[in-house]
Amino acid sequence: MNTGFFLLFRCTACRCEVAQPLPVVAKKIIYLDQMVISNIVKAKEDRWRLLHARLVELDAMQLIVCPFSEVHLEESMLAAEWRDRLKLLYRTIGGVAFRTPREIETAQLLTAIRSWLGSPGPSVREAAWEESFESDPHRWTADMNVFASFSTDEAVVTSLRESKLATKANMDTLCDHWRRNPLTFEQDCVAEIEGYARGVIEPYRLLAGGRRFDPRTPPGWHLGAVLVHRLACEVAESRPDIADPAEIVREFFASDACKAVPFLDISGRIWATIAQQARNPKGPRVPKPGDHYDVQVLSRHAPYCDAMIVDKEFRAVASSGNVDLPGRYGVRLFSPSVLDEFSDYLRDIEARMTPEHRGALIAVHSVTRPGPAPIAPAPAICGVIPTDDEQPRLGQ
């Protein structure tokens, strides 16, 4: 049996078990924009069908994983014609999900405020992947997974559609504001981060009123207020002498440490770039309904990805000198116009497979996929080498 990190062998006579460690893998994390997933499902062009087959193949080789996100789910629910077919595609390439954007924000801010306070916190923190993923993306996955779908609530779909239209209207208003108030790129970045801070601090202050901070209970269930309360709890734990931990959180949001938090740094830079484009007198950029989703994906997921396929426009924005996600976060960016380059990238991943990794693949698939004997023979159990029928099977 494949547990994700070990192969378990069981003696058929006495049921004794032996665990054989699988080699540690560092899979490439590849994010597929909803546009890519939609093209794969619609299958109107061979290149998307071939791309999907290639990704599934490399996933079976335990070399890549293509995580899905809350953004995928929301955009799929808005695509009524393709909704059911889109659902079937999720979890088919690695079976890993990103945490929600709010959970990722909270995790990044907690890491930053601990460092700012000079408090390492508990000696054993979460594993690195836990900040962004619901399960370890680098485990050995099974041949057979149960692919989970997601329910569709038409009231939720209507709310999402209304929210998307409202976001578009707000962006139109924001563009007018940008044009009336010309700022430098750096000033726009600062304004974006300050806006985020106000959006969480002010609701907390309003709900808390004059009440004394109580670590057991947030002042209300507004998302921003809950976030500030969580950060205030971290302050209270590190500095119990502080009478108003929320005030220290406000100071943190005004610090350089906060500006360096990945999702704030990236989103601030992208929105500042869009603001500069909106002010271009030769041809101002017009806001699009999907802008909010694209910025959210890049700012919350890019720091954890090795590669991303996004649309051509946002690839250009994210690669520009003021944002420079490839240089600053080490993520390779692709778009439909450069799928040949992405194919080369995938070939290079396979070419770098180590002999140890290849040998483990043969051992794992020795029964379901006939081939040469494993590099490492199956261990003896109670002095007996397991027969072919006793060799481990994925998903067993």
pLDDT band at 226 (very low <50, low <70, confident <90, very high): very high
Pairing of strands 17-21, 6-10: antiparallel
pLDDT, tens only, 238-297: 999 998 999 999 999 999 999 999 999 999 999 999 999 999 988 888 877 778 889 999
C-alpha radius of gyration, the chain, whole number: 24
> CA-CA distance, 56 to 340, in Å (whole number)?
17
pLDDT, tens only, 8-24: 667 777 777 777 788 88
Total number of residues shown for the chain: 396
> CA-based angle 31:33:34, to the nearest 5?
130
On the CB side of 212, how many CA atoms lie within 13 Å of its CA?
2
On the CB side of 110, how many CA atoms lie within 13 Å of its CA?
19
| 159-175 CB burial, b ≥16 within 10 A, e <16 | ebeeebeebeeebeebb
Contacts of 369 (CB under 8 A, 6+ apart): none
Determine phi and psi for 133, rounding to 5 degrees: -120, 155
SS3 assignment, position 6: strand
Residue of 122, 114, 141, 133 whose CA lies nearest to 56: 141
CA 133 vs. chain centroid, Å, equals 6
Inform me whether the pLDDT recorded for 123 exceeds 60: no
Inform me whether the pLDDT recorded for 377 exceeds 80: no
Do the beta carbons of residue 72 and residue 34 sit within 8 Å?
yes
pTM for this one?
Answer: 0.83
pLDDT at 35: 87
SS3 assignment, position 255: coil
pLDDT at 224: 93
> CA-CA distance, 217 to 211, in Å (whole number)?
11
DSSP class of residue 44 equals -
> Which residue ranges make up each domain of the chain?
6-23+354-390
Do the beta carbons of residue 204 and residue 228 sit within 8 Å?
yes
Mean pLDDT to the nearest integer, 147-151: 49
Residue of 332, 393, 331 whose CA lies nearest to 367: 393
Q: What spatial distance separates the first Cα and last Cα of the chain, rounded to whole Å?
A: 5
The amino acid occupying position 129 is W
